[in-house]
Amino acid sequence: MVPDAIEEAVSKITVSVGRERYRVLIGEGLLKQLGKHVRKYLSRKTCAIIADDEVAQLFARRVERNLISTGFHPTLITIPAGEKSKTLTQAGAICDQMIGAGLDRQSFVVGIGGGVIGDISGFVAAIYQRGIPHVQIPGVNTRDGKNLIGAVHHPSLVIDDTDVLKTLPRREFNQAFAEIIKHAVIADAKMFRTLKVARAFWPAAAGETHALQSLIKRNIEIKSKIVAKDERDQTGQRALLNFGHTVGHAIERAGDYRKFLHGEALSLGIVAAGAISIKRAGLSPDQREAIVDLLRQFELPTRLPKNFQREKIFSALKFDKKFKGGKVRFVVTR
């Protein structure tokens, strides 16, 4: 697609959270124009590109070449792919490599990858030299539970190139739909109906990613609207985004972050939250069934394997960040 056509086909969203505002660009082929877009928002030269080793093989060289061709001085830092990399030790190791590369307060961070890279590269940007510009919201794991240590550090720019979804393994692609179905349940019945009839989201099948582009745009709008109301997770508004995550995170932990991907554990968590919502919020069994059917439609798990140790889920629940006064708290919907 020629540069001007790429420009026109780009969806632009401005996210405002507290005093912060940043731009999100969504569209095909944006990585080819990365440097040009970054240049508009950041007048800095040196940067760290942080990617996991799987994504680095696919995109890092192209990104590096593009940034160099637009006058930036990037240093590529790769970490092993997967949840196990979201640790303080890994964040520290990345900072050491950035110091070794001579990056300073005038530098910035580019995180390329999934949620793990988004979180750890954002955390590094939040702590390096007391904070430098970045592109996503961070979090790290401690021995006991998920996302218990973190920082709120808003990005300067988010670039969502839908082309990169074409290389995503089907299981990884499907797991993202747990968060999308969660957004539909908590905030958008119309999107719920759209998803029910959707057949063409799988890029390899659709061959193009326009349908995905508007879906991504809608989901960023939903999340940023909720985050804008409760940036620091204090009024309970933002907790809505945790629908399905109480049991979801506990199952992810009980499976040692290996058995289930984040979205697969979340799918099971949404099934549980649906059952609790019938009991505690008057959700109709039909609507709960509709949610379960939609999760199945996107090939997401809705039943625990027979041999899965259920008692490990209960012991993991107390590590949930909503746990208060010895009580497990669930987000429910009527």
- The residues that touch ligand NAD, with contacts defined as CB under 6 A, are 52, 54-55, 58, 81-83, 86, 113-117, 119, 137, 139, 147, 164-165, 167-168, 172, 175, 261-262
Phi, psi angle pair for 109, to nearest 5°: -115, 135
**Smallest gap from residue 286 Cβ to ligand NAD (A):** 29
**Smallest gap from residue 59 Cβ to ligand NAD (A):** 7
The nearer residue to ligand NAD, 288 or 301, going by C-beta atoms, is: 301
**Smallest gap from residue 168 Cβ to ligand NAD (A):** 4
Question: What does each C-alpha distance from 216 to 122, 191, 331 come to in angstroms?
Answer: 20, 11, 23
The nearer residue to ligand NAD, 44 or 84, going by C-beta atoms, is: 84
The nearer residue to ligand NAD, 152 or 332, going by C-beta atoms, is: 152
**Smallest gap from residue 104 Cβ to ligand NAD (A):** 26
Indicate the pairing of strand 11-17 with strand 20-27.
antiparallel
**Smallest gap from residue 58 Cβ to ligand NAD (A):** 6
The nearer residue to ligand NAD, 65 or 193, going by C-beta atoms, is: 65
**Smallest gap from residue 30 Cβ to ligand NAD (A):** 13
**Smallest gap from residue 141 Cβ to ligand NAD (A):** 8
The nearer residue to ligand NAD, 46 or 147, going by C-beta atoms, is: 147
The nearer residue to ligand NAD, 58 or 328, going by C-beta atoms, is: 58
**Smallest gap from residue 97 Cβ to ligand NAD (A):** 19
The nearer residue to ligand NAD, 97 or 147, going by C-beta atoms, is: 147
The nearer residue to ligand NAD, 113 or 244, going by C-beta atoms, is: 113
3-state secondary structure string across the chain: CCHHHHHHCCEEEEEEECCEEEEEEEECCHHHHHHHHHHHHCCCCEEEEEEEHHHHHHHHHHHHHHHHHCCCEEEEEEECCCHHHCEHHHHHHHHHHHHHCCCCCCCEEEEECCHHHHHHHHHHHHHHHHCCCCCCCCCEECCCCCCCECCCCCCCEEEEEHHHHHHCCHHHHHHHHHHHHHHHHHHCHHHHHHHHHCCCCCHHHHCCCHHHHHHHHHHHHHHHHHHHHCCCCCCCCHHHHHCCHHHHHHHHHHCCCCCCCHHHHHHHHHHHHHHHHHHHHCCCHHHHHHHHHHHHHCCCCCCCCCCCCHHHHHHHHCCCCCCECCECCCCCCC
Enter the tokens of residue 136. 């996503």
3-state secondary structure string across 268-325: HHHHHHHHHHHHHHCCCHHHHHHHHHHHHHCCCCCCCCCCCCHHHHHHHHCCCCCCEC
**Smallest gap from residue 296 Cβ to ligand NAD (A):** 20
The nearer residue to ligand NAD, 118 or 283, going by C-beta atoms, is: 118
Which residue has the closest beta carbon to ligand NAD? 115
